[in-house]
Amino acid sequence: MPVISTKLRARLLDALAHPNRVRILEAIRSGHTCSCEIAPELDLEQSNLSRHMKILVDRGVLVPERDGVRINYRIADEDIFKLLDLTGELVRRNAERSILEEAGKPS
């Protein structure tokens, strides 16, 4: 009955629903842990990246851990990556379907 709040689910999805934030998460998955590494890697303005990070932290996607002058970010829940992978699968199959229906069209 207590179907998980649609608002909270939408809010989490929204945290991930930006190309740069997807890229940021992939950068973290591949071992980069701090903005100072990610910013040059993804060619993002420092202040812009900082705001994306804030969104990801505020919504519980990333956990910040200060280490001296830098802040290391780690994923709060490994299943976030599972979600990203599933999204990729869906995109891939969606593209396949588009091609198939293209083939089944009248000329």
Partner DNA sequence: TGTATATATGAGTAAATACTCAATAACAAG
Partner DNA sequence: CTTGTTATTGAGTATTTACTCATATATACA
The contact set with DNA (CB under 7 A) reads 14, 18, 20, 34-36, 39, 44-48, 50-55, 64, 66, 68-71
Q: How far is the CB of 82 from DNA (least distance, A)?
A: 22
d(CA 11, CA 106): 41
Please identify, using beta-carbon distances, which residue of 35 and 52 lies nearer to a copy of itself.
52
Please, which residue, 1 or 7, has the CB nearer to DNA?
7
Rounded-to-integer distance, Cα 73 and Cα 56, Å: 10
- Least distance between a copy of itself and beta carbon 95 (Å): 8
Q: Which does 83 bind (CB under 5 to 8 A by kind): DNA, a copy of itself, none?
A: a copy of itself
Q: Which residues bind a copy of itself (CB under 8 A)?
A: 3-10, 12-14, 16-19, 21-23, 26, 60, 76-77, 79-80, 82-84, 86-94, 97-98
- Say how far apart CA 85 and CA 2 lie, in whole Å: 27
What whole-number distance in Å separates Cα of residue 52 and Cα of residue 21?
7
Q: What region does 86 belong to: left with phi over 0, alpha with psi -120 to 50, or beta?
A: alpha
Residue 76 in contact with residue 63, Cβ under 8 Å? yes
